[in-house]
């Protein structure tokens, strides 16, 4: 049975729903797309090619490979644009980032792919809703809402990539900084900053979701569960992938799991189900997981919501 956990502890949501006013900025100042309640997915989704046998690769130093030229993507894509590699054997980690800031490949330890298996999906969602309406922006790699502008590469180093994109209505700018952290227990650090651009303060309640179709150790059927700051999928007798908040957050946060490997099946592409339809702990399921943040429902211009988490194998 699916359980929307917010229904049980959502006092803040309830109070917001009762008392929040329509958002002037989003209702008046910004010209909204006509199809705001129906967001078609971008065409051209493609599956990335599976990494070919680079197991036990001996890589002493962190290495980054830019696999494409200057990239400005608007369509959903799972194609690798920036690849980071560190460590070897048990400390090996290789992950890649698309031009839009999706992490569509994560191999760690060596020989254990955690994302790029069968159907590939990883990405982010912003859902801002008031008492009367809601606004949904998402990009899960395999599918994306059509209300994003192109992505811009801000910087690239041997260990870090920084990507920015603004919603096509101009209200929000997402800046992602994704860092490869090597060491005995390597991880990919992801900092997401959503900046509110409108001159009119928002009263919309924003929720931010980072989501991934986990396929731990090359296996679609996983055990999945979550705590207050983490979500994970794993295969007993092999390894797992965990996403965990790693910085103090000003926002309400929880880990969530879904009994579907797709954004649509998880309710993530439906503006009426912000944050999706969560499940309890799952066993031997082709599911997915995420970290869900509930932001402060008032934002002046240039207000920045910051969320930091990590992907790690375990």
Q: Which residues bind other proteins (CB under 8 A)?
A: 5, 8-9, 88-91, 109, 181, 184-185, 187, 189, 223, 225-230, 232, 234-240, 242, 244-250, 252-255, 280-281, 283, 308, 310, 312, 314
Q: Which is nearer to other proteins, 172 or 208 (CB)?
A: 208
Contact 289, 211 (CB under 8 A): yes
Q: Which is nearer to other proteins, 184 or 272 (CB)?
A: 184
Cα separations (Å) of 237 from 30, 210, 309? Answer: 52, 27, 26
Q: Which is nearer to other proteins, 90 or 300 (CB)?
A: 90
Q: Residue 70 Cβ, how far from other proteins at the closest point, in Å?
A: 30
Q: Residue 248 Cβ, how far from other proteins at the closest point, in Å?
A: 5
Q: Which is nearer to other proteins, 303 or 314 (CB)?
A: 314
Q: Which is nearer to other proteins, 30 or 294 (CB)?
A: 294
Question: In b/e form, how buried is each residue of 257-286, taking b as 16+ CB within 10 angstroms?
Answer: bbbbbbbebbbbbbbeebbbbbbeebeebb
Q: Which residues contact 6 (CB under 8 A, 6 or more apart)?
A: 13, 275
Q: Residue 221 Cβ, how far from other proteins at the closest point, in Å?
A: 14
Q: Residue 217 Cβ, how far from other proteins at the closest point, in Å?
A: 8
CA angle 175, 178, 183 (to 5 degrees): 160
Measured between alpha carbons, how far is 283 from 268 in angstroms, rounded to an integer?
21
Q: Residue 151 Cβ, how far from other proteins at the closest point, in Å?
A: 25
Measured between alpha carbons, how far is 176 from 300 in angstroms, rounded to an integer?
21
Number of other residues whose CB lies within 10 A of the CB of residue 13? 18
Q: Which is nearer to other proteins, 42 or 224 (CB)?
A: 224
Q: Residue 226 Cβ, how far from other proteins at the closest point, in Å?
A: 6
Number of other residues whose CB lies within 10 A of the CB of residue 207? 23
């Amino acid at each position: 049975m699916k359980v929307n956990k917010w229904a049980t502890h959502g006092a803040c949501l309830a109070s917001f729903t009762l008392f929040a006013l329509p958002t002037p900025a989003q209702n008046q100042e910004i010209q909204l797309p006509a199809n705001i309640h129906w967001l078609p997915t971008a065409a051209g989704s493609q599956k990335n090619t599976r990494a070919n046998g680079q197991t036990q690769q001996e890589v002493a130093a962190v290495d980054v490979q830019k696999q494409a030229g200057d990239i400005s993507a608007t369509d959903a894509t799972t194609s690798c644009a920036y690849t980071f590699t560190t460590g070897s054997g048990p400390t090996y980690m290789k992950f890649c980032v698309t031009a839009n800031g999706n992490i569509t490949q994560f191999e760690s330890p060596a020989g254990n792919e955690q994302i790029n298996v069968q159907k590939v999906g990883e990405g982010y969602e912003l859902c801002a809703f008031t008492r009367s309406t809601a606004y949904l922006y998402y990009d899960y790699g395999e599918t994306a809402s059509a209300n994003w502008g192109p992505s811009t590469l801000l910087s690239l180093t041997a260990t870090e990539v920084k990507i920015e994109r603004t919603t096509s209505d101009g209200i929000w700018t997402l800046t992602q900084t994704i860092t490869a952290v090597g060491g005995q227990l390597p991880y990919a650090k992801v900092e997401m900053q959503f900046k509110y651009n409108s001159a009119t303060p928002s009263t919309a309640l924003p929720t931010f979701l980072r989501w991934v179709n986990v396929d731990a150790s090359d296996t679609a059927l996983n055990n999945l569960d979550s705590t207050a700051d983490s979500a994970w999928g794993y295969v007993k007798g092999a390894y797992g992938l965990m996403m965990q908040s790693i910085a103090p957050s000003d926002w309400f946060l929880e880990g969530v799991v879904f009994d579907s490997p797709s954004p649509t099946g998880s309710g993530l592409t439906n503006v009426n189900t912000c944050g999706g339809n969560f499940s309890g702990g799952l066993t031997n399921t082709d599911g997915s997981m995420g970290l869900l943040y509930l932001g402060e429902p008032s934002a002046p211009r240039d207000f920045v919501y910051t969320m930091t988490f990590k992907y790690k194998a375990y």
